[in-house]
Structure 1
Amino acid sequence: MPDAMTTTMTLPVISAALAGVIIILQQILMLATGTRRGKTGQGVGVAGDVQLERLARRHGNLAENSGIFIASLALLELLIGSGMTVQIFALVFLVARLSHAAGFSTLRGSHGKIDGETAPGSALFVGLRAGGATLTALSGIALGGFILVNVWGYLPF
């Protein structure tokens, strides 16, 4: 492997593009949550409002997963360049997060049964939410492993 101090640096443009899309999505979800809070007068917490809970969870789940993934992807991109591997990681993560947000777009997707209804939640929305969460986890684990494989030769031990 080349000496880490003499390698050329590639700007992480794929990670930056992913960050651009994710920050726009994050702000849209934040505004939806804030709008509901304004309508209900609920500043903190959800006070049993399942709509507000759904919106807050949708916003929060994106926030808790996106930052570390994008930072990690940018580090990988600095290590190996902006090739197909980085592009695939970015695309899979984006699809996962869009799927998860879409699954949380209805109460049936987030809460299943609503207000005593006997019908289960929509399989489509529950599947989008669960699939998005699973794909997020798998892409993060794969990204972490791929980073470790690529830095192993540079480690001093």
Structure 2
Amino acid sequence: MELEGDREIVIARTFNAPARIVFDAWTKPEHVSRWWAPRSRGVSVVTCDADIHVGGEYRYVLRLDTGKEFAFSGKYTEVLPYSRLVYTEIFEPTASGAQPGDAELIVTVTFDEQGGKTHLVSRSRCPSKEVRDAILASGMEHGMRETMDQLEELVGSLR
């Protein structure tokens, strides 16, 4: 994970699989539900809905081992299959739905395939440095590292 400027969080990983497989694992609900939550923290995905086209929406509801739920939701603004996604992301701490004024991130994910391997780069642009810093303070780096490991495991099983 790297920080760029005051507002961006960048995560990069190379997967030993073609872009088609990595893209599908990143977008299809039946796959996302298997990797998107850090298991070691007792988090599970309980709802995973995604309508992957420009203007389509997604919503992932996660549950802690305490029973508390929270969600991430947003809208796709660019979809180039196996190549690039751009979408908004809002954290819903109560899982009751996004509220006006919630901090909206813009996430750009690229899938660059070369030699049967795919280099994925996810850039999250936060509305402010304060929002970025709050995300980092929440333990996002550890969680992303673990979920990327889980994604790698899933991608390997889909080959």
Q: Calculate the TM-score normalised by the size of structure 2.
A: 0.28
Give 1 or 2 for the bigger CA radius of gyration: 1
Structure with a larger share of its residues in helix: 1
Structure with a larger share of its residues in strand: 2
